[in-house]
Chain A
Amino acid sequence: MAETTETDHVPLINLRSVTKTYGRGTAAMQALRGVDIAIEAGEFIAVMGPSGSGKSTCMNILGCLDTPTSGNYLFKGVEVGALSRDQRALLRRQYLGFVFQGFNLLNRTTALENVELPLMYRGDPLRTRHQLARTALDAVGLTGWEGHTPGELSGGQQQRVAIARAIVTRPALLFADEPTGSLDSSRSREIMEILTTLNREQGITIVMVTHEADMARYASRTIHFRDGLVVPEHETDHKGGH
Chain B
Amino acid sequence: MFWNAVILALREIRRNVLRSFLTILGIVIGVAAVIVMVTLGDGATAQVTQQIASLGSNLLMVTPGKRMGPGQNVGAAPFTVEDAESLRRDIPQLAAVAPMASKSMSAIYGNANWSTQIAGSSNSYFEVRNWKTRTGRLFSDSELRSGAAICVIGGTVRSKLFGNQDPIGANIRLQNISCQVVGLLESKGQSTMGSDQDDVIIIPLRTFQRRIAGNQDVNIIQVSVRDGVSTARIQQDIERLLRERRHLSASDENNFNVMDMKEITAMLTSTTKIMTALLSAVGAVSLLVGGIGIMNIMLVSVTERTREIGIRLAIGAFEREVLMQFLVEAAVLSSFGGLVGITLALLSSVLLASLLKVPFIFNAPIVAVAFLFSGAVGLVFGYFPARKAAQLDPIEALRYE
Contacts and interface: CB of A to CB of B under 8 A. Distances in A.
Chain B facing A: main interface SS: helix
Nearest to B321: A121
A92 B314 contact: yes
A29 interface: no
Given A60-B395, A65-B394, A104 B310 contact: yes
B395 A65 contact: yes
Interface residues of A, number: 27
Contacts, number: 54
11 contacts: A65-B314, A85-B319, A90-B318, A92-B315, A93-B316, A98-B315, A104-B310, A104-B311, A104-B398, A107-B308, A121-B318
B395 A66 contact: yes
B314 A98 contact: yes
Contacts of B320: 86
Contacts of A105: 311
B273 interface: no
A118 interface: yes
A118 B319 contact: no
**Which 9 pairs show the lowest CB-CB distances between chains A and B?**
A93-B316, A92-B316, A118-B315, A89-B316, A121-B317, A86-B318, A104-B311, A65-B395, A89-B318
A170 to B, nearest CB: 14
Nearest to A114: B311
Interface residues of B, number: 20
B307 interface: yes
B307 A104 contact: yes
A13 to B, nearest CB: 18
Chain A facing B: main interface SS: helix
Given A60-B395, A106-B308, A108-B15, A121 B314 contact: no
B313 interface: yes
Contacts of B308: 106-107
A117 interface: yes
B166 to A, nearest CB: 83
A120 interface: yes
A86 B317 CA distance: 8
Contacts of B312: 117, 121
A86 B313 CA distance: 10
A94 B316 contact: yes
A143 B307 CA distance: 27
A44 interface: no
B307 A121 contact: no
Contacts of A120: 4
B250 interface: no
A118 B321 CA distance: 12
Given A91-B316, A92-B314, 19 more contacts: A65-B394, A66-B395, A85-B319, A86-B318, A86-B320, A89-B313, A92-B315, A93-B317, A94-B316, A98-B315, A104-B307, A106-B311, A107-B308, A108-B15, A118-B315, A121-B317, A121-B318, A122-B316, A165-B315
Interface string A130-161: 00000000000000000000000000000000
